[in-house]
Amino acid sequence: MTAISYTIVQDLGENRFLAKGNWPALNGDPLLEGKDSFVVLLLDKPAEVGATGRCTGLHVGMVALGFTAKFAPLEGKKLTLRREAFLQCTPVDESNAALQKFVESIQKGAELSVITSERIACKPCGGLGFTREAQKGKIEDKRMPCKDCEGTGKVPLVTETKFAP
């Protein structure tokens, strides 16, 4: 999660916005600091083009976006962008009163969920980043880069946990 200040550039519908944002680098995440960088925001309320704001956003990775630009100097151009995406979220204050309010809102039917993203060991290669293939007449196996994790040994796992009464 990070604090983002943004200016809405284009409304992409369904509370998704292309925005110019600034945010600090995240610890423990490969995300670099953003300075006037284009981002995709999922806000919990409608917003107007040109509006500025601040929100606490959960970084949900890179998304590919295809749309027709409605801003200068790209007006009318069909674009495909790969951009960092953030989901607006409301951190729960760690006090008994805030916790009580959170529990009560769920009991009243509020739809709340938490999305966590982690990198887990890739199953097909056992986290090694490569698979082995026996070679006839050779002692050493041939190492093939794992396609599932692109040789990194890890795959992202995104989990959404919904709270229910």
Closest separation in Å from C-beta 112 to Zn ion? 34
Q: Which two tokens stand for residue 76?
A: 């009318």
Segment interacting with Zn ion (CB under 5 A) among 11-19, 26-34, 39-47, 146-154: 146-154
Three-class DSSP labels, 123-153: CCCCCCCEEEECCCCCCCCEEEECCCCCCCC
Question: Taking CB under 5 A as the rule, does residue 148 contact Zn ion?
Answer: yes
Give the per-residue contact string, 103-122, with Zn ion (x = CB under 5 A; - = no): -------------------x
Closest separation in Å from C-beta 152 to Zn ion? 7
Give me the phi and psi of 44, to 5 degrees please: -90, 0
Cα–Cα distance between 91 and 35 in angstroms, integer? 24
Segment interacting with Zn ion (CB under 5 A) among 37-45, 49-57, 72-80, 124-132: 124-132
Residue among 24, 60, 19 nearest 41 (CA):
19
Closest separation in Å from C-beta 155 to Zn ion? 7
Amino acid, single-letter form, for residue 123 = K
Binder among 125, 133, 144, 158 for Zn ion (CB under 5 A): 125
Amino acid, single-letter form, for residue 29 = D
Residues of the shown chain interacting with Zn ion in the complex, contacts defined by CB under 5 A: 122, 125, 146, 148-149
